[in-house]
A and B are shown apart, each in its own frame.
Chain A
């Protein structure tokens, strides 16, 4: 174990103990560890953005690039400068231009991405599960695949029905959804509940693994320290 490993190991152990001190309630040591984490992350991100984004994508092209490159680089430079003006209340309205550009671009990408990357492929996948070719292609018995396909379709439709809040046209005065949608919505709540339960179990799993990882690393550190 060299000096670097020793220092890192000690700091790691101390910080872990500081975080565990939360067991005794909120205290200064725990808060100090949190502040360190946030501060270091923010500092690292800032330095990374300067070194990996601003300098190579903005400064270097302006200094060393060709005339065409410099012109291209002027666009983000001006937009960035205008965006910076939002810190001054009088000029904050100017910042809407680059913000509008960014929001519009992100919205366009999201709409296209969700439509082509999620909605259409997922709908097609749900429909294709009933394809006879796929049903008999698998090694599993076809009835299992059929049940699988039905559960998938019912789960998808009922989960969507859960979030349908339209009123029945027949009984418009009663604030109730149509009977079919109401029933499907109740069923959809079951599917959503199971999904959220699985996500919650995953959170426990991740937390437990983080604990095991720390215990493993601290144990390994002390084993090496004692062995020397």
Chain B
């Protein structure tokens, strides 16, 4: 026989070493009389005494208690005959136990067999359940208070064993992350997301308050913090552990449990639990999560003394706190977390306002003082020169389709960039048709033409403009437009009198597309321009998208490109028109210089502050 096995004195069954009750008959398997153990003697004496009626129990313990009969009933239905046998003779002999074994399911047999052969095979839960069921089977019709008392005895012994183990461990044990249970890691993980900042003093906590495993110590530390930080009066006061103070009767236990029930059910419980979360948030950022101050060390000691004195109440209270903590965490799971923003420094706001007003004044000067710069440096870039050449090829009465595909946000830039080209087209006396695939493009087109012609009011420029409005459908609409001259179905469907028909693309001598984004430009190039290779397609874009559109000019997919105010100004100078953008151009130049200066200044300040910080760290 293996020395790890223990034989039941009642039925003779071999049981694993660490089970408390016989797996077959449920008899207590304590290898030595518990009364011989000084720490357990009194407690076991209490546990052997039956509790009073169920009505005397606290509510939450009664709830636990109520579950036991249900288990017994279920178990009885499975093993009906055996139960009856057991009922008739609670102290059954080994032969009757063998009869019972014949009726148990195969899977349970396997588990028990394996538990006999391998000590680790039976998990803690299975062992407890087996012991519990066996115990239930033994006397399912007994007074439930006895069953509960058995359960309570297990809890007491378990807690007492833990306490003894804690005391055996060395005082210098540091908290080990490996010992932290999964539930606490999960709490840390979740709470770490919630936590934005933790007090630095809390992060430094690393003292060793006791001789307990790291995770227990940590949990205990939090438990202790909760109690003492919120309602000190609710601590179960610990006196020196004398014999007189030991609970030696079921009445004493009930008294303690009632007190505990009151503590837990008091109105302050929720506030305590909120503090649990807060404390976890704070301590989870630290390495050890153990409070550093002496006061907290003492609190931890008080907690463990409490456990030593009254393990049942302490353990139940701790479990209750954990359960409530998880409940609180689950309640906030998935809820939006308010982002904690650092308050902006007043000085930085003042600097920002000053710089903004300075920029405003700088760019306003050319307009207020009527200063302009018409001497544009540089020659027209190749794409813009190609654009100019294409426009100059147009004659009076040529039809041009102007596509206005930009949003309101860049309308200021686009109007400035397009103005010289619109006036150039007006000078040429072309017939312009304005179309947009943007909803707001319909009125932006009208505004563009009006503002462009208003640049030269003296010359009274006039142009035949036909507003075709909005082309719905996005890419599909563009494809439809490109196909309209080829497909009679599309053409016949769209050519209703009520519809503003953008007409056949083949009617136009040139297409000019104003775009503010690469996507809009690609839509027109890919879906329209490739299907009308005989019609020149030119583009006007914001300076932001110029870099992305140049490859399309290189590949010949667009025939000309004017991008940004600089190229537009050069275009204007090329057609000897100096009436429009002189002040704007000067203001733009000054503004750019100002912003470049600000950027350089910011870089210098940043480098200096970084250098100072590094130097301080080196000195430290």
Q: Which residues of A contact B (CB under 8 A)?
A: 20, 23-25, 41, 44-45, 48-49, 52-53, 55-57, 60-61, 64-65, 69, 72, 105-106, 109-110, 113-114, 116-118, 121-122, 124-125, 129, 152, 195, 198-199, 201-206, 208-216, 219-220
Residues of B within 8 A of A114 (CB): 526
Contacting pair A205 B413 (CB below 8 A): yes
Sample (20) of A-B pairs whose CB atoms are under 8 Å apart: A20-B356, A55-B498, A56-B496, A57-B472, A60-B498, A106-B474, A106-B476, A113-B475, A117-B557, A118-B526, A122-B551, A125-B551, A195-B547, A205-B543, A205-B564, A205-B592, A206-B410, A211-B359, A211-B591, A213-B416
| Contact (A48, B493) CB under 8 Å given A118-B526, A209-B413 | no
Residues of A within 8 A of B367 (CB): 215-216, 219-220
Selected from B349, B554, B588, the residue in CB contact (under 8 A) with A212 is B588
Contacting pair B476 A206 (CB below 8 A): no
Of chain B, the residue at the smallest CB distance from A37 is: B408
Instruction: Please give the distance in Å from B557's CB to the nearest CB on chain A.
Output: 6
| Contact (A116, B530) CB under 8 Å given A24-B353, A209-B416 | yes
A211 to B358, CA, bound (A): 13
Contacting pair A57 B555 (CB below 8 A): no
A212 to B359, CA, bound (A): 10
Instruction: Please give the distance in Å from B505's CB to the nearest CB on chain A.
Output: 16
Contacting pair B440 A109 (CB below 8 A): no
Instruction: Please give the distance in Å from B528's CB to the nearest CB on chain A.
Output: 9
Contacting pair B499 A56 (CB below 8 A): yes
A205 to B547, CA, bound (A): 14
| Contact (A117, B522) CB under 8 Å given A23-B356, A209-B413, A212-B363 | yes
A105 to B548, CA, bound (A): 26
Considering the complex, which residues of chain B in the window 386-419 have a beta carbon less than 8 Å from any beta carbon of chain A?
408-410, 412-413, 415-416
Selected from A56, A125, A215, the residue in CB contact (under 8 A) with B498 is A56
Q: Which residues of B contact A (CB under 8 A)?
A: 344, 349, 352-353, 356, 359-360, 363-364, 367-368, 408-410, 412-413, 415-416, 439-440, 442, 469-470, 472, 474-476, 479, 493, 496, 498-500, 522-523, 525-527, 529-530, 542-548, 551-552, 554-557, 564-565, 583-584, 587-588, 591-592, 595
Contacting pair A109 B588 (CB below 8 A): no
Contacting pair A52 B413 (CB below 8 A): no
Of chain A, the residue at the smallest CB distance from B352 is: A23
Total number of residue pairs linking A and B with CB closer than 8 Å: 156
A202 to B353, CA, bound (A): 24
Of chain A, the residue at the smallest CB distance from B349 is: A25
A41 to B443, CA, bound (A): 12
Contacting pair A49 B544 (CB below 8 A): no
Selected from A69, A105, A216, the residue in CB contact (under 8 A) with B493 is A69
Of chain A, the residue at the smallest CB distance from B472 is: A53
Residues of A within 8 A of B476 (CB): 105-106, 109
Contacting pair A122 B588 (CB below 8 A): no
Residues of B within 8 A of A113 (CB): 475, 522-523, 526-527, 530
Of chain A, the residue at the smallest CB distance from B364 is: A215
Instruction: Please give the distance in Å from A53's CB to the nearest CB on chain B.
Output: 5
Instruction: Please give the distance in Å from B95's CB to the nearest CB on chain A.
Output: 64
Instruction: Please give the distance in Å from B347's CB to the nearest CB on chain A.
Output: 14
Residues of B within 8 A of A209 (CB): 412-413, 416, 565, 588
A198 to B556, CA, bound (A): 22
Contacting pair B353 A198 (CB below 8 A): no
**Interchain residue pairs A-B with the least CB separation, the first 9:** A202-B544, A117-B526, A213-B412, A113-B526, A125-B555, A198-B547, A209-B413, A60-B498, A210-B412
Residues of A within 8 A of B526 (CB): 113-114, 116-118
Known: A41-B440, A61-B498. 14 other contacts (CB 8 A): A23-B352, A48-B470, A52-B442, A55-B498, A57-B499, A110-B475, A117-B557, A118-B522, A199-B548, A210-B409, A210-B410, A213-B413, A216-B367, A220-B367
Instruction: Please give the distance in Å from B195's CB to the nearest CB on chain A.
Output: 25
| Contact (A109, B554) CB under 8 Å given A45-B440, A205-B544, A215-B363 | no
| Contact (A52, B544) CB under 8 Å given A210-B413, A212-B588, A215-B363 | no
A204 to B596, CA, bound (A): 10
Residues of B within 8 A of A117 (CB): 522, 525-527, 529-530, 557
Contacting pair A49 B472 (CB below 8 A): yes
A73 to B352, CA, bound (A): 57
A45 to B443, CA, bound (A): 11
A60 to B595, CA, bound (A): 54
Contacting pair B544 A44 (CB below 8 A): no
A124 to B498, CA, bound (A): 44
A3 to B469, CA, bound (A): 28
